[in-house]
Amino acid sequence: MTFTAPVLNYSLLSPILILLVGALIGVLVEAFVSKALRPVTQLSITIGTLVLSLAQVWKIRNEHSTTAAMGSVVIDGPAILLQASILIISIISVFLIADTDHFTALAASLPGSDEERHAVQTGNQVTEVYPLTLFAIAGMMLFPISSDLITLFVALEMLSLPLYLMAGLSRRRRLASQEAALKYFLLGAFSSAFFLFGMAYLYGYSGSVNFAGIRESVVGGSGNDVLLLIGIAFVSIGLLFKVGAVPFHTWSPDVYQGAPTPVTGFMAAATKVAAFGAMLRIYYTVFANAQWSWTPLLSAVAIVTMLFGSLVAIAQRDVKRMLAYSSIAHAGFLLAGVIALNKAGLDASIFYLFAYGIATVGAFAIVTLVRDSNGEVTDLNRWKGLGKRSPWVATAFAGFLLAFAGIPLTSGFIGKFSIFSAAYESGAKGVVIAGVLSSAIAAFFYIRVIVLMFFTDPIQDGTTVDIPSGLTRITIIFSIAVTIVLGVFPAPLLTLITNFATFIR
């Protein structure tokens, strides 16, 4: 028996490898560097790694349309664009994570225990969140470029496990945070099981775990359709769970609320890019020819998700929960891009993911600033009169909300328009109409927050707005600038995406 060494194409995998090396160095730093130097060392390593990885993505941008690691990974136009989006979103999220005030001093200690108190008193702040973030990002980078089921599953777990932990790291309301982490973990494990189950059926159907192999069987149409349908259904459940689509959304409001806000922002933005990236690849390439079997189902999920997210968001009194339901609604809009199943839909989805991700991180950055003596204030009633207290922060938040609502001259409008027109073009008129209706509903609760901030008098309850630290400031300014520039001059990015984004099958 001869053994052939696998050809890995290290240069194409380098963006991910760099992240993994950075994460491992982070683990060592956690163990060996003194507590005084640790935060700054970790931050510089993390940012350095991300920038290096982004540079590497830039370097390989023209080598796309190839496979690497023996066909387990595909580097094509969408892959490069999605990876770059994930990295950019991650960098600005790490700026928020850098504010250690949000994280528990010692995650391993019981809430309220002596151990915890001791860690706080001695200033022995652990910073394991940085390597965890890097591991998660590496998984996110692998997820949308995987081209076989095994790699896809590994990537899914790689991005999920660190996130489960990160959700439980909150310094304040630790019990709620740990509950969120446990909930996320349990439900996530369920969805992974569904995903695996679906994988098995797909393998049974096609005799291959490779996307190209499965696609061939779908195109050939010779296999047992029952196996295919069950496979599609269960794999879809796993993916829909990750993007938070109804009825697999129940984890998201609790996790969004319980997790430390910088982590929520990172999770909401980057996970969506990764999960939708993978989803687009699977539905646009592997399942494309079985369109008749999944489009009706996915359309129904999209419609229900949009309407449910928008309607329930109206009833929210907590800013993080409101943003959670808003992100559910946005998952519905993004599903419209998946259903479109045409080039315009792919371009629109990538644009939407980037624009939405940036605005989301920006919005959560603002949430980290509104505080009282017990930490963040997320009760919307206490956001009253924010526009009077700190007009710039309130204006920026209003800008993000208007982008979420899809008001013209913001990136959100261009995204919504392009995704709806792509879906309409493919004949999904019902989805478009539901989308327009739920946009109208959604506008209501976004505007209500603006009313609260600008048209209501502040109540004196000790709520203050922190002066943003330098890094948070960079995140907010960058996000709002991108949101507006993409709303007014989206042409360069749209052209780039149009020229770049073609899946290789």
CA distance 485 to 493: 10
Tokens representing residue 425 in the block: 């073009």
Minimum CB distance to another protein smaller for 262 or for 435: 435
Minimum CB distance to another protein smaller for 28 or for 409: 409
Minimum CB distance to another protein smaller for 437 or for 474: 437
Are residues 39 and 19 in contact, defined by beta-carbon separation less than 8 angstroms? no
Minimum CB distance to another protein smaller for 48 or for 492: 492
Q: How many CB atoms lie within 10 A of CB 34?
A: 7
Nearest-approach distance from CB 489 to another protein, in angstroms: 8
Instruction: Give the interface with another protein as residue ranges (CB under 8 A).
Output: 347, 387-388, 391, 402, 407-409, 413-414, 417-418, 420-421, 424-425, 432-433, 436-437, 439-440, 443-444, 447-448, 451, 454-456, 490-491, 494-495, 498
Strand extents, DSSP E, 262-339 = none
Query: Which amino acid is located at 118 in the chain?
Result: H
Nearest-approach distance from CB 299 to another protein, in angstroms: 16
CA distance 339 to 348: 12
Identify the CA nearest to 405 among candidates 436, 439, 433.
439
Q: Using alpha carbons only, what angle is made at residue 93 by residues 312 and 351, rounded to the nearest 5 degrees?
A: 65
Nearest-approach distance from CB 403 to another protein, in angstroms: 12
Minimum CB distance to another protein smaller for 197 or for 417: 417
Nearest-approach distance from CB 397 to another protein, in angstroms: 15
Nearest-approach distance from CB 77 to another protein, in angstroms: 15
Nearest-approach distance from CB 55 to another protein, in angstroms: 27
Minimum CB distance to another protein smaller for 222 or for 495: 495
Minimum CB distance to another protein smaller for 315 or for 433: 433
Helices (H), 74-113: 77-97
Tokens representing residue 97 in the block: 């994570």
Tokens representing residue 309 in the block: 């997210």
Residue 112 phi/psi, 5-degree rounding, is 80, 5
Which residues lie across from 31 on neighbouring strands?
none
CA distance 258 to 252: 10
Spacing of C-alpha 82 from chain mean position: 11
